[in-house]
Amino acid sequence: MSHGRGFSVARLWAIVVKEFIQMRRDRVTFAMMIGIPIIQLVLFSYAINSDPRHLSAAVLVADHGPQGRTILSALRNSTYFQFVRQVETEAEAHAALARGEVQFLINIPENFTRELLRGDRPTLLVEADATDPGATGGPLGALPSILNSALQNDAKGPLEYLVSADSPIDLRIHAKYNPEAITQYTIVPGLLGVVLTMTMVMITALAITRERESGTMENLLSMPTRPLEVMIGKILPYILVGYIQMGLILAASHLLFQVPMVGSLWLLMGVTLVFIAASLAVGVTFSTLAQNQRQAMQMTLFFFLPSILLSGFMFPFRGMPPWAQAIGEILPLTHFLRLVRGILLKGNGIEEVIHQLWQIALFGVVVLTIAVFRYRRTLD
Amino acid sequence: MSEELAIDVRGMTKRFGKHTAVDHVDLQVRKGEVCGFLGPNGSGKTTFIRMLCGLLRADEGSGQCLGHDVIKDSETIKRQVGYMTQKFSFWEDLTIEENLDFVARMYSLKNRRATVRQSLERLGLTARKDQLAGQLSGGWKQRLALAACLIHEPLLLLLDEPTAGVDPIARRDFWKEIHQLAGQGLTFLIATHYMDEAERCHRLAFIANSKLLTQGTVAEVIENSHLTTWAVDGPDLLQLAETLQALPGVEQAVPFGSILHISGPDQAALERAIAPFRTSHYRWKQVPSGLEDVFIHLMEKPRETVST
Ligand SMILES: Nc1ncnc2c1ncn2[C@@H]1O[C@H](COP(=O)(O)OP(=O)(O)O)[C@@H](O)[C@H]1O
Ligand SMILES: [Mg+2]
């Protein structure tokens, strides 16, 4: 009877084993854990399009003539673009694009005005982060007409001759990362986050409230086990489930939709672990707040809906109103979507990843703190 | 003396908001004793038992359970107590064996497999060990629960209405088992509604409306109630029961098969009340009060004192 009163790995393992047996016996839930990714994959691989505005753009201006300015203000007036940064070098510009700080890069090269006036059709380079083609498609399509009408206004009088040419400038668009603008490229990796959010939060929320509702919690509490053993014991098995879901989705997106995987799979697995842990923490917290399984289910939906609507999964993030973006920034799914798209499509490495990752981790820590405060060792 | 007491608590009190579920209850149970814990539904039995094993924090009260402080040492007490919940609380989607194995792991038992096997054998569960707990009938569920709360060899067993929904044969076997274990030195506190079970206990404690009303052996409890009971046999007993019930001095008039038990706390008043009916139509006989008469008497008493 003198066994340690501290944390016991043996008891933790006992809970893990029990959870696995119960998981195996609960065919419906098990089928759901496998079925949800597949069903969602089919449902969401349709394109979801919209017409976003005020997308963030950086400008790299090497020519300070009046025509350059005309073009920039025309772009701004079109309301498609919002210039959030002025960059000095191409390296800086590309870093901002890779990190997702801006979605567009407008590059006005040296001697732009001079070449334009000479009728030499200078190059105007627009680079776009097309990992989210729903967001970039509209603005890119509208670009030629915006530019033409801007120059026509400008070209009254002595510059009239410019208009007669087909187009006075040579507009070049580089849709980076997803050049063919295939929406499945965005949707499918995004689904990974959506499916994990849904199942991880729901299953842990239910797993603990179920113990309370069926009365087995009273039994568990009457045994010499620590709260942390119960919590971790409940979480561990579902991390494995999360990885199985991840494997399913990645395999499907690769085999069915030929989604490229540019970045490191190991990095993706590491990032996913943080995200799964944060989602499970949300589930555990719900289970300490909910009185019964029905409430746990409702709380899960309450969390899931904003996650799916405001994270940039459904609607292009930059196209949402500021208040919605502010809420979105709090949600782990928002950051996870950026991470998955960044790693899979852009080949982002640890440096680009860390900025989003700590925000997910912070969310998880805050939520878990609530859970530990709420978990009671007694029945009162 | 206190060495001999497995449970020795005083003033145990638990409040849920404004409602006091257990109100200053004292209880002493000797080692090796089987103590019956009686009381109507909602009287606070479950709440009291939960306080003993540390599942609920007592608002007031002090004392010892197996020599450990009942308030401060609840973690130590947990390891030496077997608690059988009122509602079946094992995992219905685990088999009998898996449930026992889980409990054995929770208590970090050495020779876990052997212990589980012995436990299955002793309670006759071996043939059913692969059956899911949720598919068992009431009697088998109760056996599983008993096996599980015995597996870590506790010194004290707290059983909360263990035989509710169990058939008479299973109940008899169950009580045989309990007396065997008590013979080996285990102490029992058993909440129950059944009078025949109460009569099998060494000691009884009555609780009603959150308060302990009496405790002692069966004989002491009956003696202390000062209840007089007459049995009557004759025609139209239901009518007679209704008439008598209304008279002063008569507390209960309860049919027991073909006879009627009339009882009241004041012998003289009772005899005065029944005197007009002691005719040749009826056969009257004074009988010792039964535990059930006493039980109903105790349950009615607090209500009377409130109304007067
Ligand atoms: N967790 C709780 N919260 C609020 N009231 C409770 C709680 N547990 C029990 N009660 C109340 O305390 C009283 C005693 O209940 P209980 O101990 O279950 O009685 P018994 O086991 O004798 O039937 C009842 O009125 C019950 O409603
Ligand atoms: Mg009860």
Residue A23 has pLDDT above 70, yes or no: yes
Interface touch B107/A223, C-beta < 8 Å? yes
- Domain of B17, CATH number, reads 3.40.50.300
Interface touch A1/B103, C-beta < 8 Å? no
- Looking up tokens 């257990």 gives B22
B2-50 pLDDT tens trace? 458 999 999 999 999 999 999 999 999 999 999 999 998 899 999 999 9
Q: Are A250 and A261 in contact (CB under 8 A)?
A: yes
The verdict on B183 and B258 lying in the same domain is no
The verdict on B231 and B211 lying in the same domain is no
pTM over 0.90: no
Domain containing residue B183: 2-216
- The whole-number pLDDT of residue A182 equals 59
Q: Stretch A250-270: mean pLDDT, rounded?
A: 84
For residue B306, name the pLDDT band (cuts at 50, 70, 90): very low
Q: Which of A185-199, A202-216, A289-303 shows the lowest per-residue confidence on average (mean pLDDT)?
A: A185-199
How far does the CA of residue B278 sit from the closest CA of chain A (Å)?
55
B147-159 pLDDT tens trace? 999 999 999 999 9
Q: Stretch B282-286: mean pLDDT, rounded?
A: 90
- Domain of B233, CATH number, reads 3.30.70.920
Atom number in ligand 1 closest to CA B45 = 22
Interface touch B106/A222, C-beta < 8 Å? no
Nearest CA in chain A to B102: A14
- The whole-number pLDDT of residue A48 equals 44
A306-364 pLDDT tens trace? 998 898 887 778 778 889 899 999 999 999 999 998 898 888 888 888 888 999 999 99
The verdict on B201 and B286 lying in the same domain is no
The verdict on B235 and B112 lying in the same domain is no
A12, A223, A225, A378, best to mutate vs chain B, most B CBs in 10 Å: A223
Instruction: Give percent above pLDDT 70 in chain B.
Output: 96
- The whole-number pLDDT of residue B304 equals 47
Give the residue, B1 or B197, on which the prediction is more confident: B197
Q: Which of B16, B86, B158, B207 best tests ligand 1's pocket when mutated (most atoms within 8 Å of CB)?
A: B16
Q: Stretch A99-113: mean pLDDT, rounded?
A: 84
Residue B222 has pLDDT above 50, yes or no: yes
The verdict on B200 and B73 lying in the same domain is yes
Assigned domain for B200 exists: yes
- The whole-number pLDDT of residue B1 equals 43
Q: Are B241 and B253 in contact (CB under 8 A)?
A: yes
Q: Stretch A267-287: mean pLDDT, rounded?
A: 91
Q: Are A119 and A302 in contact (CB under 8 A)?
A: no
Beta bridge pairs of residue B211: B208
Assigned domain for B221 exists: no
The verdict on B237 and B177 lying in the same domain is no
Q: Which residues of A touch B90 (CB under 8 A)?
A: 216, 219
Residue B57 — left, alpha, or beta (φ > 0 → left; ψ -120 to 50 → alpha)? beta
Structure tokens that stand for A41 in this block:
């994959």
| The dihedral formed by the CA atoms of A5, A9, A11 and A14, expressed in degrees to the nearest 10 | 180
The verdict on B263 and B170 lying in the same domain is no
User: How is the beta sheet containing A81-86 ordered, strand by strand?
Assistant: A81-86, A55-61, A104-108, A123-129, A170-176
Q: Cα angle at B193 between B192 and B197, to 5 degrees?
A: 65
B137/A contact by beta carbon, under 8 A:
no
Question: DSSP string spanning A226-294?
Answer: -HHHHHHHHHHHHHHHHHHHHHHHHHHHHHTT-----S-HHHHHHHHHHHHHHHHHHHHHHHHH-SSHH
Question: DSSP string spanning A165-225?
Answer: SS-SSEEEEEEESSTT--HHHHHHHHHHHHHHHHHHHHHHHHHHHHHHHHTHHHHHHHSS-
Nearest CA in chain A to B88: A215
Assigned domain for B238 exists: yes
The verdict on B87 and B232 lying in the same domain is no
Interface touch A14/B54, C-beta < 8 Å? no
Residue A261 has pLDDT above 70, yes or no: yes
Please report the beta strands in chain B, taking only residues with DSSP state E, as ranges in sequence order: 5-16, 19-30, 34-38, 60-65, 68-69, 81-84, 156-160, 187-192, 203-208, 211-216, 228-233, 252-256, 259-264, 283-287
Residue B42 CA to ligand 2 centre (angstroms): 7
- The whole-number pLDDT of residue A163 equals 55
The verdict on B133 and B252 lying in the same domain is no
Number of folded domains that form chain B: 2
Residue B305 has pLDDT above 50, yes or no: no
Among 3.40.1710.10, 3.40.30.10, 3.40.50.300, 3.30.420.10, name the CATH number for the domain at A55-176.
3.40.1710.10
* Ligand 1, atom 7: closest residue by C-alpha: B16
Among A13-17, A72-76, A138-142, the range of highest mean pLDDT: A13-17
Domain ranges across chain A: 55-176, 183-379
Q: Which residues of A touch B153 (CB under 8 A)?
A: none
Domain limit, last residue, from B216, B235, B267 = B216
The verdict on B300 and B169 lying in the same domain is no
The verdict on B230 and B212 lying in the same domain is no
Atom number in ligand 1 closest to CA B48 = 17
Residues sharing a CB contact under 8 Å with residue A153, sequence separation 6 or more, in sequence order: A70
- The whole-number pLDDT of residue A109 equals 84
Interface touch B98/A222, C-beta < 8 Å? no
B229-255 pLDDT tens trace? 999 998 888 888 888 888 888 888 888
Q: Are B300 and B245 in contact (CB under 8 A)?
A: no
The verdict on B232 and B123 lying in the same domain is no
- The whole-number pLDDT of residue A45 equals 61
What is the complex's ipTM, to 2 decimals?
0.83
Going from the C-alpha of A156 to that of each of A70, A150, B141, the distances in angstroms are 13, 11, 94
Q: How far apart are CA B119 and CA B146, in angstroms?
A: 10
Domain limit, last residue, from B173, B193, B216 = B216
- The whole-number pLDDT of residue B81 equals 95
Question: DSSP string spanning B164-184?
Answer: TT--HHHHHHHHHHHHHHHHT
B117-161 pLDDT tens trace? 999 998 888 999 999 999 998 889 999 999 999 999 999 999 999
Q: Which of residues 72-101 of B touch A (CB under 8 A)?
A: 75, 78-81, 83, 85, 87-94, 98
